[in-house]
């Protein structure tokens, strides 16, 4: 603590940021909680309905549950692509002698592109008429029977809208994991190699335990980002066909701004917040416990 | 490590040579395989973007009928002309620039101030305040849409630059505070104590010591946040209606015509124009940006 500080000086530095943060983040969260107990379309009188919105959401709304499970699957696909892909590429990269910087740059490139551009791009990649990149590729490798309109097929659409999100950010997570991997002390690795450790043992026993703290951070980042996924599904399919690519976030958005049901949309928002807090809690709990055992 | 402590003894050199042998024997298969895999993954990451650019140079006929992987049969800049006719790309880029600048100023200045109060000045409730800021990292931005929409319409802020800047800055603030605090930890206490003995108060110390020392962190924070702010879709889409204020992501949406009929080659040309500014910054400053992203998370 600075010796000459005064109470005013703390306030001078702290208050402006705190006010902005309260206005943009904290107050809206409380407001959502408040609104979730009301029925309101933005124009008429607000009507207090108690827990009715929550009861409706949890017991009577099939679309809500559909979106919830879709969101979980969306999250799973993103996590596999982002964390799995990042870990594989980062490990491979450490074995490379030259060109690491170039590959890092290229790999991060998609993260710079806006979601709207990515949505356009992938609409064309999945397209069947004119034939898009994916279908053409399948045709070439002799899997022509798999060709389809990926975004209109209810069985593939959810995976099709999840993949671009995963694709977009693998580079980001790869960078973080790579930075952690090259910080693993060389002495440790070489000692293990001397003891005859295989590449796999080297990875599971030395490298991974060493990067575990970073892995926890990355998992939390990827999970919270996955749960707030919105842009790409919204832009590519708007949740369709039917509700087959609807996520909680897109459903909340439509409830709020298409059906102007602000009360019920806030109820869904509150659920999303709880879901995120629970997810982060679970990750910390599981990964910490594994580290202790 | 043995080879370092006793490099000249026979035992040490024998050991180190077996290590080298292992290193040299394993590579052939493992190394080739990993190289091929890396190249493959890089192609997956980069080819779609190259394809996007190539498509923007194709003629419409070529695009509608040809093999998507084939090189364009002839190059044309017409798509770019149509792209500029359809939308107001210059305006969109300018708007994105204003929003990115505005949000970044708030993020950097406020982030630094809060970190200074929390880390350097210190006060009794600082742990509690830190926990409050942590909420903003975990909570998804969508939670704020409905409340902010209602609040904005109450105070006439809908459809303004501020309506985008406030939540963009608010949600980025925690990460910025966190980055600045972890940097301030490295400034030695003695520096502050010496300045205090010379009679400098908290304001002068902030202006004369903390601020100039943090310039590197400022670059990091600005670069990392700019990617997200420049490309923000959800706040702009919710709070902005008028053409004059549309940022790039919204401007691009104008290319989706009525009935879903889309002039794809012109759209791709527009996409290429709009990603150029950020892409250039990224390619020029990618070292700083990569370092920023790496340090941002590994410190946590």
CA atoms within 13 A on the CB side of A268: 27
Q: Closest Cα to residue A175, out of B45, B298, B138?
A: B298
Residue B125 burial (CB count, 10 A):
11
pLDDT of residue B10: 43
Interface test mutation site (partner B, options A24, A110, A190, A213, max chain B beta carbons within 10 A): A24
At A111-155, the pLDDT tens digits run 888 888 899 889 888 887 777 788 788 877 877 777 777 877 878
Residue A39 per-residue DSSP state: E
Inter-chain CB proximity A170 and B133 less than 8 Å = no
Tell the CATH topology of A51-292: MetI-like fold (1.10.3720)
Interchain contact A179–B (C-beta under 8 A): yes
Residues of chain B found within 8 Å of residue A270, distances taken between Cβ atoms: 143
Q: Closest Cα to residue A16, out of B128, B117, B101?
A: B117
Residues of chain A found within 8 Å of residue B145, distances taken between Cβ atoms: 253, 256-257, 269
At B177-188, the pLDDT tens digits run 988 998 888 888
Q: How far apart are CA B243 and CA A52, in angstroms?
A: 39
pLDDT higher than 90, residue A181: no
Interchain contact B105–A (C-beta under 8 A): no
Distance in Å from the first CA to the final CA of chain A: 38
Q: Closest Cα to residue A175, out of A77, A291, A85, A113?
A: A85
At A79-104, the pLDDT tens digits run 999 999 899 888 888 887 778 888 88
**Residue stretches of chain B with pLDDT short of 70:** 1-27, 66, 257-261, 293-300
Residues of chain A found within 8 Å of residue B136, distances taken between Cβ atoms: 21, 25-26
Inter-chain CB proximity A21 and B174 less than 8 Å = yes
Judge residue B261's burial from the number of C-beta atoms within 10 Å of its C-beta, 0-12 exposed, 13-18 middle, 19 or more buried: exposed
Question: What is the value of ipTM here, to two decimals?
Answer: 0.87
Residue A23 per-residue DSSP state: I
Domain ranges for chain A: 51-292
Question: 0.80 cut: is pTM over it?
Answer: yes
At A186-231, the pLDDT tens digits run 888 888 888 887 888 888 888 888 888 888 888 888 998 898 889 9
Interchain contact A111–B (C-beta under 8 A): yes
Higher pLDDT, A259 or B261: A259
At A24-71, the pLDDT tens digits run 999 999 999 999 998 888 778 888 888 888 988 888 888 999 999 999
CA dist A222 → A217, B136, B137 (Å): 9, 15, 12
Contacts 24+ apart (CB under 8 A), A57-61: A57/A264, A57/A267, A57/A268, A57/A271
What is the average pLDDT value for chain A, to the nearest integer? 86
Distance from CA of B81 to the nearest CA of A (A): 19
Interchain contact A43–B (C-beta under 8 A): no
Tokens (6 digits) for B135: 């909420």
| Among candidates A4, A175, A269 on the partner chain, residue whose Cβ is nearest the Cβ of B201 | A4
Given a contact cutoff of 8 angstroms between Cβ atoms, the answer to whether A70 and A158 are in contact is: yes
pLDDT of residue B164: 93
């Amino acid at each position: 603590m600075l010796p000459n500080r005064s109470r005013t000086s703390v306030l001078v530095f702290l208050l402006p940021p705190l006010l902005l943060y309260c206005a943009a983040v904290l107050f809206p969260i409380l407001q959502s909680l408040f609104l979730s107990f009301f029925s309101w379309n933005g124009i008429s009188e607000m009507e207090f309905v108690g827990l009715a919105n929550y009861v409706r959401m949890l017991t009577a709304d099939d679309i809500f549950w559909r979106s919830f499970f879709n969101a979980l699957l969306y999250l799973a696909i993103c996590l596999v692509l982002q964390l799995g892909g990042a870990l594989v590429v980062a490990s491979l990269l450490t074995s490379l002698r030259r060109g690491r910087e170039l590959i890092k740059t290229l790999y991060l490139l998609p993260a710079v592109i806006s979601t709207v551009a990515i949505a356009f791009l992938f609409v064309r990649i999945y397209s069947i008429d004119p034939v898009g990149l994916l279908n053409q590729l399948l045709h070439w490798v002799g899997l022509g029977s798999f060709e389809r309109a990926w975004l209109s097929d209810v069985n593939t659409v959810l995976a099709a809208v999840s993949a671009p999100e995963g694709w977009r950010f693998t580079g980001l997570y790869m960078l973080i994991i790579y930075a952690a991997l090259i910080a693993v002390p060389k002495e440790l690795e070489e000692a293990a190699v001397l003891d005859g450790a295989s590449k796999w043992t080297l990875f599971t026993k030395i490298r991974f335990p060493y990067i575990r703290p970073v892995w926890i951070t990355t998992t939390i980042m990827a999970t919270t980002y996955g749960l707030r996924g919105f842009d790409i599904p919204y832009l590519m399919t708007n949740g369709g066909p039917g509700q087959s690519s609807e996520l909680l976030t897109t459903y909340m958005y439509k409830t709020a701004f298409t059906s102007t049901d602000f009360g019920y949309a806030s109820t869904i928002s509150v659920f999303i917040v709880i879901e995120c807090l629970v997810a982060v809690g679970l990750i910390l709990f599981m990964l910490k416990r594994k580290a202790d055992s | 490590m043995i080879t370092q402590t006793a490099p000249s003894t026979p035992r040490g050199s024998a050991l180190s040579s077996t290590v080298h042998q292992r290193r040299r024997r394993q590579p052939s298969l493992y190394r080739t395989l990993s190289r091929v895999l890396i190249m493959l993954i890089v192609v997956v990451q980069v080819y779609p973007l190259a394809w996007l650019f190539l498509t923007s140079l194709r003629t419409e006929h070529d695009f509608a009928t040809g093999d998507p992987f084939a090189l364009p049969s002839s190059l044309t800049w017409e798509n770019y002309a149509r792209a500029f006719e359809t939308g107001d790309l210059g305006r969109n880029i300018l708007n994105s620039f204003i929003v990115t600048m505005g949000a970044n100023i708030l993020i950097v200045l406020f982030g630094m101030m809060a970190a200074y109060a929390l880390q350097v000045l210190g006060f009794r409730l600082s742990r509690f305040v830190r926990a409050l800021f942590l909420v903003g990292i975990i909570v998804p931005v969508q939670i704020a849409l409905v409340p902010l929409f209602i609040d904005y319409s109450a105070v006439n802020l809908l459809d303004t630059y501020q309506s985008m800047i406030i939540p963009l800055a608010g949600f980025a603030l925690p990460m910025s505070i966190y980055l600045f605090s972890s940097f301030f930890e490295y400034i030695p206490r003695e520096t502050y104590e010496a300045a205090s003995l010379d009679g400098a108060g908290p304001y002068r110390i902030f202006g004369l010591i903390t601020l100039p020392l943090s310039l590197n962190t400022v670059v990091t924070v600005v670069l990392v946040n700019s990617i997200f702010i420049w490309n923000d879709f959800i706040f702009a889409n919710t709070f902005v209606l008028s053409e004059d204020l549309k940022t790039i992501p919204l401007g691009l949406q104008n290319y989706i015509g009525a009935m879903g009929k889309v002039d794809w080659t012109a759209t791709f040309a527009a996409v290429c124009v709009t990603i150029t500014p950020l892409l250039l910054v990224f390619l020029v400053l990618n070292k700083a940006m990569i370092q920023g992203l790496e340090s941002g998370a590994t410190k946590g």
